Amino acid sequence: MNFLRNTLAVLVGLVIAGLIITLGIRVFPQWVTFEAFAPFDQWQRFLQSMQNDDAFFGFLLFISGLGTTIGGIATAIIVKYAKVAYAILIGFIMLFIAMLDVIIFPYHPTFYKISIFLTFFPFSWIGGKIVDIIYERNRKKRIADKMNKS
Question: What distance in Å separates the CA atoms of residue 130 and residue 128, rounded to the nearest whole number?
Answer: 5
Q: Report whether 10 contacts 84 (CB < 8 A).
A: no
Q: Indicate the number of domains in the chain.
A: 1
- Nearest alpha-carbon partner for 43 in 116, 98, 124: 98
pLDDT at 87 over 80: yes
**Per-residue pLDDT tens digits for 44-75:** 777 777 777 788 889 989 999 999 999 999 99
Percent of the chain residues past pLDDT 70, beyond the cut: 91
Give pLDDT, residue 40: 61
Question: What distance in Å separates the CA atoms of residue 114 and residue 82, rounded to the nearest whole number?
Answer: 28
Which residues have C-beta within 8 Å of that of residue 63, sequence separation ≥ 6? 20, 21, 24, 25
Percent of the chain residues past pLDDT 90, beyond the cut: 58
Residue numbers of the domain that contains 83: 2-149
Q: List Cα–Cα distances, 87 to 44, 92, 130, 134, 135, in angstroms.
A: 30, 9, 10, 15, 15
